[in-house]
Amino acid sequence: MSLLEINFDGIVGPSHNYAGLSFGNVASMRHAGAVSEPRAAALQGLDKMRSNLALGLTQGILLPHPRPHHAWLAKLGATIESADDTLAANAMSASAMWAANAATVSPDPDTADGRCHLTVANLRTMPHRSHEWPATLAQLQTAFASDVFTVHAPVPPAFGDEGAANHMRLAPSHGEAGVEVFVYGVSGGAFPARQHIEASRAIARLHGLDPDRVIFAEQSEEAIAAGAFHNDVVAVANERVLFAHEKAFADKQSLLDACERLVRGFEYVEVPDAEVPLADAVRSYLFNAQLVTPPDGQPTLIIPNEAQETPSVWRWVEAHVAGNGPIRRVEVVDVRQSMANGGGPACLRLRVVADPATVDQRFLVDEAALDRISEIIGRYWPEQIHHSELQNPALIQDVEAARGALLDGLGLGHG
Ligand SMILES: NCCC[C@H](NC(=O)CCC(=O)O)C(=O)O
């Protein structure tokens, strides 16, 4: 059996809009009330998947959730028609597109029972995200139904968990036993710390990780306060390499010492604040990159256009690639619609190291499958959504029909 890293990208749902719902996510706050383009957003996501396929990577998908979330509104004694603006926006959010927040994944080389464990994130800090988990759980139970996987329900909402966005795995190669780093927040200045250490500890126990090969690292308060609402805004890991901003962690040295001790061939690539200030890192999403190893073995950093357009960042990238650094290739992708809500290339994907043959094949895509999905999106996804339209019955009908058409097209029914 061959273990590969598979990136499961969330398909951007037809209700994608800018409601400014995420306090502490500076892009979401800045774009509150802007006009969104769901069709362009979803097609941008598909193009990112195409460029990953072209690199020779294995690609999967996760599906948009049913919106509006009628059942959630009903629990609040409301309907989409009767809800106030904020409640309606919470029920219409397409935030499940950010698959890095779907779950935390520990592949089988790391776990005591030799299974791949996934724990769905409770996302309890933001109301619009707190109701994602039941649909995520149902989807992961379908995609990972084989007995090589164990899918766990979320940890209790007493403790905030935002999934893989706060989790990094380091290993000599994907298929070997790794070290799992759980990054949590204690304080974020004016902004909330969304990942709690109690949740991270629970996940490490549930997944049967060896306590000697787990690291808990605190995110720096300064990074959260600057808009790094998840660790993956300031750090990313792939195999032996940790790529991070100088100010990502509260106690960088302890983290690096532990990685040196536990990961054979560990390499740390730091971007100094003097070269790329935290604000530029957050604005450009340099670290919200997919750091991947394609079959040609050249570690590749997949970054958004905004990184190329931020002078300090692009200078750093060019110098690194020209030198002899561990990142050998850079791919620039356009995910501007998602970026405007604070979701870069890495937010849009959930990494699962597994044998692709063990995954429900409807969740894996090749070029031909992406062509079919793109045709459905082109036909059904709204071109634009004005924030004031979120309760408009015609829009709601279009959004529900669009998702239905996609699920039918993928043979996944109306679940
Ligand atoms: N990993 C990236 C997540 C981005 C997400 N943004 C949002 O939910 C913005 C939604 C809005 O404002 O309409 C978040 O903050 O959790």
CATH code (residue 215): 3.75.10.20
Give the length of the chain: 415
Query: Shortest CA distance to 235 belongs to which of 193, 203, 282, 188?
Result: 282
Q: Residue 356 falls within a domain, yes or no? A: yes
Binding region for substrate: 19-28, 101, 128-129, 194, 232, 341
Which residue lies with its CA nearest to atom 16 of ligand 1? 22
CA–CA dist 196, 182 (Å, integer): 10
Angstrom distances, CA of residue 263 to CA of 249, 257, 318: 19, 10, 28
Choosing from 31, 196, 239, 347, the catalytic residue is 347
Domain assignment present for residue 415? The answer is: no
Residue having the nearest C-alpha atom to atom 10 of ligand 1:
21
pLDDT digits (tens, 9 = 90+) for 33-72: 999 999 999 999 999 999 999 999 999 999 999 999 999 9
Residue 134 lies in a domain: yes
Distance 2 CA to ligand 1 centre (A): 34
Closest ligand 1 atom to residue 25 Cα is 15
Active site residue 218: no
Domain of residue 29, residue span: 4-409
For the CA of 89, the closest atom of ligand 1 is 13
Higher-scoring residue by pLDDT: 2, 131 = 131
Q: Can you give the pLDDT at residue 324?
A: 86
β-strand pairing of 179-184 with 214-218: parallel
- Phi, psi for residue 167 in degrees, rounded to 5: -140, 135
Confidence of residue 1 (pLDDT cuts 50, 70, 90): low
Residues 311 and 65: their CA atoms lie apart, in Å, by: 37
Between CA 256 and CA 254 the distance in angstroms is 5
Q: Dmax of the chain from CA atoms?
A: 60
Report whether 119 contacts 203 (CB < 8 A): yes
Does a structural domain hold residue 382? Answer: yes
Domain count, the chain: 1
Within a domain: residue 349?
A: yes
Please give the ipTM for the structure prediction.
0.99
Mutational pocket test of ligand 1: of 98, 122, 123, 132, the residue with most ligand atoms within 8 Å of the beta carbon: 98
pTM of the predicted structure, to 2 decimals = 0.98
Residue 98 lies in a domain: yes
Active-site residue 259, yes or no? no
Helix (H) / strand (E) containing 214:
strand 214-218
Which H or E element spans position 38? helix 38-54
Whole-number pLDDT of residue 120: 98
Q: 95 C-alpha to center of ligand 1: Å?
A: 6
- 144 — pLDDT class (breaks 50, 70, 90): very high
Amino acid at 134: P
Report if residue 414 sits inside a domain.
Answer: no
What is the CB neighbour count within 10 angstroms for residue 281?
A: 31
Pocket of ligand 1 from Cβ distances under 6 Å: 18-22, 25, 28, 93, 95, 98, 100-101, 126, 129, 165, 229-230, 341-343, 347
Contacts of 406 (CB under 8 A, 6+ apart): 11, 63, 64, 373, 376, 377, 380
Amino acid of residue 34 = A
Predicted confidence (pLDDT) per residue in 348-358, tens digit: 999 999 999 99
Does residue 208 form part of some domain? yes
Q: Are 2 and 53 in contact (CB under 8 A)?
A: no
DSSP state, residue 385: B
Q: Is the dihedral of CA 346, 352, 353, 359 positive or negative?
A: negative
